[in-house]
Structure 1
Amino acid sequence: MEHSLLPFVVSSENPHNFEKKYYNIICHLFIDGALVVQTFFVMSGCLLAYNLNLLAEKKTISWTMIPKGIILRWLRLTPTYALVLAVTTTWLRFAGSGPLWQSTVGVEVKDCRRDGWLNLIYLNNYIDESQCMPQTWYIAADMQLYVVGLIIFSLVTTAVARRVVLIVLFVVSLIIPACHTYLQNLDAGLIISPELVRDYFVKDPTFNNTYKRGHTNLASYIMGLGLGMLIYHLQKKDFNIERFKKYRCIYWAIAPSMLIVLPSGSFFYFYETEAPIILKAIFSGIAKPVFSSIICVIVLGMAFKFEDVYRGILEWNGWASPARVSYCAYILHVLFVRTLTGSRTTLMHVSIAHVLLVCMGTVMISYLVSYPFWLLVEAPSIALSKIILPGAKVEKDIENDPTKRERNHA
């Protein structure tokens, strides 16, 4: 929804009205909403740690898991990704025209023809000033962190040693973004200004050095790995959550607390002069872990069925279908945003109603196309990858063992 705001930034009829939104604290829930991405790093780390612990019940985890895990991950992500990249580098430039076409679509085609190979080996988040599918910085960062997690769990075999390693890495991960911010005089967080949005932030030093790099998102991933270990071991000990249910009111307050953490970066927009560099460095180091800690608590409550309000919403069966095609939607949506923006021949009036209409329209188009794309590309590629490299036997054991199946579902 945020990416679909591009046409309002590029071709706004009343830009002053757009700029005034920066003085509205409610709008900063979206302007500073980039912290939400940390949710995915936590989930990814949690699933990796949990599934490797399940796998360890049936076979010994060793260094040989590292190349096999990397290849499986690459085969899972790349076919869908590569097809959209191929379309972008070839046919996309002929898909439309208009006064904005070259500045919004042509530049991506040019950069993908030059840098697209880096996307396929998941190093594109370490290349700056490239607009080749810029939203996929997350996939690259997640792939890099996945390799780090796989190495830790494959080479560090005991639970105590893993905890020590994760603690050390977590402390280091707090220092890394703070050092980047302090030494390179960066912003405390991603400052979403209209000037930077036009180029998808690729020229922003903060975006390039502390937002999209794999190592600057390490804290959230480490928290996810720790969460996966915690859930697994608590389930093994038949942890009883009942005695904690008297604190449900505190748990219900966690989600609203995100509404306080998300716009916290707005402080640096409203600061009368430029904020002290030490303050920006501290915020850069702790903002992501603070938000990720909220996600960890929510996931932990879900895993042990702590309450029924949030869990009832998130376990609704209606999420299953859009969740299955969410990767396709993620890969495709910016292609539609850029194409629709580049095809415009008139300016767009900025209003709440118009913004909502465009955002929801983009979401609907992305998902409608994602369903046939999943059926024709992603699902067959997943099946083919399982034939090429069969998954661990533990998956079948989980399906046949009700106890393990329940733990895996949770």
Structure 2
Amino acid sequence: MAWVILGHTCIITFKYSDNMEYRKVVEKKFLFQTITNGAFSVDTFFFMGGLLVSFLYFRTNAKGDLNKLTQGTRGIVAGGLKFIGLLMYRFCRLTAPYMFVLGVVQVTMKWFHSNSVFEPPTADHYNCPNYWWRNFLYINTLFPVDQMCMIWSWYVADDTQFYVIGAVILVLATNHFKIATFLMTTLLLSSWLTTGYIALINNHMPSSDDPLALFDKIYDKPWTRLGPYFIGMSVGYFLFKIDCKIKMSKTTICVGWLLSSACLLSLLYGLYETELSPIMAATYSSLSHSLWALALSWIVVACSTGYGGYVNSILSAPILYPISRITYCAYLLHPLIIRLTAMNLDSPFHLGKYTMMITFLGVLVLSYVLSFIISVSFEAPIVTMLKILSPKKRKRIQ
């Protein structure tokens, strides 16, 4: 999440700066690839989303036994009801804080459009009143980006669309596992081919182009970002099948960690000062996000089966748990805080590494402080209500 906030902070401050030549200098530095390739941070969220949806679906319904999952759930009606239940839970879980932040964005951007010395970075003052319903239905990425309200909400829309597709596959897998597997594989291959084709015909060069250059064609479209989510679902099912227990030799463990680290670092920094042919560039655009998810798969499997070592200790640190509970609200809110920081100025930013560092840290801390308030006010009550209304919860109470 800090990686996401860092990338968005750079995008906004670069837009409202007075020394753009400095940007040209820092973008040539090796470590700036961390920011240029910040899109992989979103793939991490897609991967985690697919993994948790799959693992928790099988674990909750089967309680560790896949055979139990199929009992009493045969038929279109039963599967349809389960699918509707999954969608309603998701919609109720996400929408309240989402719509609140959208309303705040609409009001503040309209005010800044009339009062700030700067123009808003996007037309939220116009788009939100006219197209808010697309956000409400989580379909805003199916329309042109210049009509999008809360442009960063593309992730929420894509993740929800993936959730719908994943729910269909999971319900189908209950009684027709091979068909579900075939459907997932077909969609995954189609996503790879579509992404490669779009990148090729647009001559997209990931090594030199702005990562947001094809935002409306590749970056935010669900059919180009599906890979990490499906890989996450596959890993979730794998962990369910082995019950998070597997024996591996020391050689396997070492090779796994080396390959995973090499893959992650290569994707982040491997294209530095590298020129790709059109075919190789299209292939990279098509497969890189899925390769990132595959590398993360080893980390999850190793940590879940007792081979994580210090990595597992860090990722499982108790201090991260309360912070993780408000990450969703932090994602919704942080771009607004960055905009408020920039558009309240009466003169442009003067870029420098210390200015960027202080701005980033301030946005990071303030995002989580305010997100806690929004989470307690809008998210937590809905989650508690859903737990009370859960059939399993009512059964335990009775």
Report if TM-score (shorter chain) is over 0.5: yes
TM-score tier (shorter) = 0.7 to 0.9
1:286 is displaced (CA, Å) by 1.2
Do residues 115 (structure 1) and 114 (structure 2) align? Answer: no
CA contact (8 A) 1:190 1:211 kept: no
> CA shift at 1:49, angstroms?
1.2
Query: CA shift at 1:228, angstroms?
Result: 0.8
Question: Corresponding residue for 2:390?
Answer: 391
Letter in 1 for 2:8: H
Instruction: Check 1:79–1:4 CA distance in 2 against 1; reply closer, same or farther (3 A cut).
Output: same
Separation in 1, partners of 2:390, 2:272: 46
CA contact (8 A) 1:34 1:190 kept: no
52, 65, 83: which one pairs with 2:100?
Answer: 83
Compute the displacement of 1:122 (Å). 0.5
> Which residue is 1:103 aligned to?
120
Once the two structures are superposed, the pairs formed by residues 155-194 of structure 1 within 5 Å of their partners are: 155-156=172-173, 157-188=175-206, 191-192=209-210
Distance across 1 between alignment mates of 2:365 and 2:185:
42
Query: Which residue pairs with 2:19 in the alignment?
Result: 14
Give the superposition deviation at 1:265: 4.6
Give how far 1:188 is off.
4.1
Q: Which residue of 2 aligns with 1:281?
A: 282
Amino acid at match of 1:5: C
Q: CA deviation at 1:354?
A: 1.4
Q: Assess if the C-alpha contact under 8 Å between 1:104 and 1:342 holds in 2.
A: no
Aligned residues: 375
Structure 1 residue 228 corresponds to structure 2 residue 228: no
8 Å CA contact 1:258–1:291 kept in 2: the answer is: yes
Shift of 1:226: 0.8
Inter-partner Cα distance in structure 2 for 1:133 and 1:385: 27
Deviation digits for residues 157-195 of structure 1, max 9, x if unmatched? 2444433333333222221211222234444489437xx
Provide the TM-score with structure 2 as the length reference.
0.86
The equivalent residue for 1:405 is: none
Matched, 1:41 2:46: yes
CA contact (8 A) 1:14 1:349 kept: yes
Q: In structure 2, what residue type is equivalent to 1:116? A: W
Deviation at 1:132, TM superposition (A): 1.7
Confirm or deny: 8 A CA contact 2:140 2:148 kept in the other structure. Answer: no
**Which residue matches 1:258?**
264
Cα drift, residue 261 of structure 1: 1.1
Distance in 2 between the 1:335 and 1:281 partners?
33
Q: How far apart, CA to CA, are the structure 2 residues paired with 1:384 and 1:91?
A: 31
Which position in structure 2 is the counterpart of 1:196?
Answer: none
Q: Is contact 2:153–2:332 with CA below 8 Å preserved after alignment?
A: yes
Q: Which has the higher contact order (CA 8 A, sep 6+)?
A: 1
Q: Distance in 2 between matches of 1:188 and 1:348?
A: 28
Cα contact 1:7–1:348 (8 A) shared by 2: no
Distance 1:190 1:68 in 2: 45
Q: Which consecutive residues of structure 1, in runs of 5 or more, have no partner in the other structure?
A: 194-200, 398-410
Corresponding residue for residue 3 of structure 1? 8
- Residues 81/134 of structure 1: CA separation in 2 closer, same or farther (3 Å cut): same
Letter of the aligned partner of 2:18 in structure 1? E
Report the alpha carbon displacement of residue 364 of structure 1 after superposing the two structures with TM: 0.8
The amino acid that maps onto 1:363 is L
Alignment of 1:289-300 (within 5 A): 289-300=290-301
Q: Which residue of the partner structure matches residue 250 of structure 2?
A: 245
- Structure 2 partner of 1:218: 226
Please say if residues 14 and 350 of structure 1, whose CA atoms lie closer than 8 Å, have aligned partners that are also in contact: yes
Equivalent residue letter for 1:170: L
Query: Do 1:7 and 1:341's aligned partners in 2 also have CA atoms closer than 8 Å?
Result: yes
Q: Which position in structure 2 is the counterpart of 1:132?
A: 149
Show CA shifts across 1:183-242 (max 9, x none): 34444489437xxxxxxx5xx4x111111111111111111111111111111xx7432x
- Contact 1:97–1:342 (CA<8 Å) still a contact in 2? no
Cα distance in structure 1, aligned partners of 2:183 and 2:322: 38
Q: Which residue of 2 aligns with 1:29?
A: 34
- Are 1:207 and 2:188 an aligned pair? no
Q: What do residues 46-93 of structure 1 show as CA deviations (whole Å, max 9, x unaligned)?
A: 111112212442654523211221111111110000011122223553
